[in-house]
């Protein structure tokens, strides 16, 4: 039976940076690595909101990417 082991987690904050000359939305993103593997969605959300409050850009999305090792 295969097993899975969470080995890394990254959080990406996506901001609305305004409009370009064609009127399309410009997105800016900042990634944060080495996230505590046991962090809950609520904890990540709270931390992301706190970080986003330090910038003048509106926060559009909070994304979490997990890297999992699968082995037998």
C-alpha distances (whole Å) from 14 to each of 10, 31, 64, 68 are 13, 9, 11, 23
Q: What is the pTM of this model?
A: 0.87
d(CA 21, CA 52): 25
In this predicted model, what pLDDT tens digit does every residue of 4-62 receive, in sequence order? 999 999 999 999 999 999 999 999 999 999 999 999 999 999 999 999 999 999 999 99
C-alpha distances (whole Å) from 66 to each of 23, 30, 36, 42 are 34, 16, 11, 16
DSSP string, 1-35: --EEEEEEEEEEEEEEEEE-TTSPEEEEEEEE-S-
pLDDT of residue 43: 98
d(CA 27, CA 16): 5
């Amino acid at each position: 039976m295969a097993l899975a082991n969470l080995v890394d987690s990254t959080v990406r904050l996506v901001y609305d940076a305004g409009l370009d000359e064609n009127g399309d939305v410009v997105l800016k993103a900042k990634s944060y690595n080495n996230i505590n593997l046991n962090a809950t969605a609520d904890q990540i959300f709270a931390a992301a909101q706190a970080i986003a409050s330090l910038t003048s850009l509106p926060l559009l999305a909070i994304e979490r990417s997990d890297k999992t090792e699968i082995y037998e």
